[in-house]
Structure 1
């Protein structure tokens, strides 16, 4: 049981890292576009992509925290 939960935890942490990298890349691309074109009145596609990636990061962090709580509950 513990081994399975640890594998799930590692997978969730990998997804956190993946989502974080995608969000940062989208942020950098969005900032570059904003600097080249001037001010933006509404959200661009890259900004929406950044927002989705960061929300995914928060979701995967929550999953990792729940897995850690389960591991701590099983360990005691």
Structure 2
């Protein structure tokens, strides 16, 4: 179970990093005048960070239950 959660955590962290880089690249290009694209990237980044935090909490709960 822990192995699956660790793999899911790595995937969530990778997705967060990917969306962060894409958002910075979109902001640096300056093509989106309304800011809607940057807002979408920000919302996705927060979502993936939240998922990663939930996975970390699950890992800590499972580790605490074994001790």
TM-score (norm 2): 0.88
For the pair shown, the structure with the greater C-alpha radius of gyration is 1
Runs of at least 4 residues of structure 1 off by over 4 A?
A: none
TM-score (norm 1): 0.78
Q: Number of residues paired by the alignment?
A: 64
Q: Does 1:62 align with 2:50?
A: yes
Unaligned runs of 5+ in 2: none
Q: What is the RMSD of the two structures over their aligned residues, measured on CA atoms?
A: 1.5
**Do 1:22 and 1:50's aligned partners in 2 also have CA atoms closer than 8 Å?**
no
Give me the whole-angstrom Cα distance separating, in 1, the residues matched to 2:39 and 2:26.
9
